[in-house]
Structure 1
């Protein structure tokens, strides 16, 4: 990861984060996905296949690339075309299924849950050690509001293949929230159990801080007096401790190495500024450079504008 000064980096949304090869692929797809011709489809499929075949066994990197591509290609013909042409390609099947889930997140429902499930199970048969089909199945189970025994069963399949899967832990955090199928107590128990077992630099390390930011947003959403004093959330013991643990280590060069590290540092910068811990936030902004993630900045409006304004306030215009 490049540790570049925020003074030299203009803020921009970059779903690929610091994955330069993924970024180059996204730029290539911009033009070719609009034409829909056979030749351009072949070119895109070849490029996606080449990228997803890199670094076999690096499930964290694979999940990041699948996640970004699926969200980018939601509504595109490409994933279905690839899966139709290469029904024995685990990469093609997982991407097609993940794209359908990404589209369902924007539409509010999954059009063919049975078909998506079958696609994932086929991919799991083709590449049994791969956790990504089970990550998608976990999302399907959430969208379908399956009961907890089924959801935890799928979650355990992910962990059997990738013990500290970022996507799996964040997905379960959302599932156990009061907004889905759980409660605040279940969220706290889940986070406590994870923190007791997890390495300090695991890919899922942001689960605890994510829970605190979500709670902070829930307070803001209530409006009125509670929203006016929402900053007090960050002075409570659990929130303070979560921020302390993250602030002490995450911004150190090389401490976090997983694919979505910059997304987690964005989360840290947001939380530190919300807590008015500006000196620590400055270090996080230096690590980020200009790479902005939509969440959590979008909760205040345009994410890039929110990021820029917050960074300027924090760094004193530096």
Structure 2
């Protein structure tokens, strides 16, 4: 369920999966427009819908068809732009980068309060491996409009990592600076857990003795503290109200399973109710198989 618990988005995805028939394109476009217009001012919810729709449509010509149908629609421009970012991250190049940047700059001028197009611009610059001064300029434009935008923070985490244009120290300094001032209601509450989980998966991917000892990471003081803070999400009623909360809980369940803490994982799996996200479970093979195996172990 890529929509997680967003039922309106689930309805749109169900309609998009319908076979072609007369008038279906108009119905799909209308539903798409409604789903991206409906969460007025809720930038977190809007981005969740854009990201899920882009992921769904990236292997089709739908984004181009939608853009051709509504070339000046700011929401369609953002959706098409993010689809191009996802394609670029997969293939390693972005020939449409300048076109996407130009369209998003125009849309951002038309909607100065909306951070969405600046998030796409940030994503394009990340795909291009742009200099840090350019990336931080786009980053600051996002923060002006939405201080705790989840996707923007995840993009910066990736950009500042040693795998892209930064270093481990830069990445961790970024996480620490965000964590120091982040309220418990922020959609970015899973940032430090995401960073730790990525590190764990990177260690697994190296293979050999390091992979065999990767589980020990979760027993080091820093990472054990990250897990303890994440476990408090379900105890604090202010937490877990953002659109991708179930994605963060998937990361928590994965980390607890890796740390061999089935008693703690049990409540998280119960909350998830079988809603699985591809990452981080795909690090263990098929995500559904890995999730089912670990959830059974915890619930048993």
For normalisation by structure 1, the TM-score amounts to 0.91
Contact 2:129/2:165, CA 8 A, preserved across alignment: yes
Contact 2:185/2:238, CA 8 A, preserved across alignment: no
Secondary structure at the counterpart of residue 256 of structure 1:
coil
Question: 1:101, CA displacement in angstroms?
Answer: 1.4
Q: Which runs of 5+ in 2 are unaligned?
A: none
Aligned equivalent of 2:209: 225
Aligned equivalent of 2:266: 282
Task: Tell me whether 1:25 sits opposite 2:25 in the alignment.
Answer: no
Question: 1:127, CA displacement in angstroms?
Answer: 1.2
Question: 1:254, CA displacement in angstroms?
Answer: 6.2
Aligned equivalent of 1:15: 2
Aligned equivalent of 1:203: 187
User: Aligned match of 2:68 in 84, 101, 107?
Assistant: 84
RMSD: 1.5
Task: Tell me whether 1:172 sits opposite 2:159 in the alignment.
Answer: no
**Alignment: residue pair count:** 300
More displaced stretch, 98-107 vs 19-28: 98-107
Aligned equivalent of 2:55: 71
Question: 1:201, CA displacement in angstroms?
Answer: 2.8
Contact 1:292/1:303, CA 8 A, preserved across alignment: yes
Task: Tell me whether 1:117 sits opposite 2:74 in the alignment.
Answer: no
Aligned equivalent of 1:134: 118
Contact 2:184/2:239, CA 8 A, preserved across alignment: no
Secondary structure at the counterpart of residue 272 of structure 1:
helix
Aligned equivalent of 1:10: none
More displaced stretch, 303-312 vs 68-77: 68-77
Task: Tell me whether 1:314 sits opposite 2:288 in the alignment.
Answer: no
For normalisation by structure 2, the TM-score amounts to 0.96
Matches of 1:82 and 1:76, distance apart in 2: 11
Give the 4+ runs in structure 1 shifted more than 3 A. Answer: 250-254
| Higher normalized contact order (CA 8 Å, seq sep 6+, divided by chain length) | 1
Deviations 1:58-85 (A, max 9, x none): 0000000000001111133332233233
Deviations 1:159-195 (A, max 9, x none): 1111000001111001111100111111111111011
Aligned equivalent of 1:238: 222
Question: 1:251, CA displacement in angstroms?
Answer: 5.9
Contact 1:79/1:95, CA 8 A, preserved across alignment: yes
Matches of 2:238 and 2:292, distance apart in 1: 25
Question: 1:135, CA displacement in angstroms?
Answer: 0.8
Aligned equivalent of 1:191: 175
Aligned equivalent of 1:147: 131
Contact 1:220/1:230, CA 8 A, preserved across alignment: yes
Contact 1:250/1:265, CA 8 A, preserved across alignment: no
Q: Which runs of 5+ in 1 are unaligned?
A: 1-13
Aligned equivalent of 1:5: none
